[in-house]
Structure formats: C-alpha cells, structure tokens
C-alpha cells in the first residue's frame, strides 16, 4: 500500500516538474477566456475585446506566475 502511495506522489511530482519546466520555457499560454480569439461575441453579435488578455489572445501561465512569485520571495529573503 505504501508503495502505491509513494509511486502516485512521485508521478504527481514528476508531472508538476514537467509543467513548471514548460512554464519556465514558454511563459505565455493561450487565453483561457477567449481561447486565443482575442474577442468575445456579445448577445447582439458584435465583437468585444477580451478583457482578461486585453485583446492579445495570450496570457501568462499560472505556473509561470508561481515561478515569478517564488523567485521574488527568494530574492527578498537573500538581500
Ligand atoms: Zn482573452
């Protein structure tokens, strides 16, 4: 039983490490709100710029923000 738990946590750790590596390599991801289309369709059919990504269609990945946060904390503690 312990082996299964250990294996599962190892896989989860490996997955997280891969995700963070991807985030470090390419910090920009597709906007989750507009799916990279940069705009939304309103009820009357007009286009409106996506507010989440400011009409760029891309946004900083959550993992990258986490990395930035950890980096800032690390720097703040080592001055
Ligand atoms: Zn967007």
Cα 74 to ligand 1 centre (Å): 31
Cα 69 to ligand 1 centre (Å): 23
- DSSP assignments along 23-75, one per residue: HHH--EEE-TTTTTSSEEE-TTS-EEE-TTTTTSSEEE-HHHHHHHHHHHHHH
Cα 40 to ligand 1 centre (Å): 8
Separation of alpha carbons 34 and 56, rounded Å: 10
Cα 32 to ligand 1 centre (Å): 7
Tens digit of each residue's pLDDT (9 = 90 or more) over 9-33:
999 999 999 988 888 888 889 998 9
Tens digit of each residue's pLDDT (9 = 90 or more) over 32-57:
899 999 999 889 999 999 999 999 99
Separation of alpha carbons 79 and 70, rounded Å: 15
pTM score, whole prediction: 0.58
């Amino acid at each position: 039983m312990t082996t299964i738990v250990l294996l599962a946590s190892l896989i989860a750790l490996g997955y997280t490490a891969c995700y963070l590596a991807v985030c470090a390599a390419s910090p920009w991801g597709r906007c989750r709100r507009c799916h990279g289309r940069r705009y939304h369709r309103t009820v009357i059919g007009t286009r409106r710029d996506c507010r989440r990504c400011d009409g760029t269609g891309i946004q900083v990945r959550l993992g990258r923000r986490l990395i930035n946060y950890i980096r800032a904390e690390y720097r703040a503690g080592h001055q």
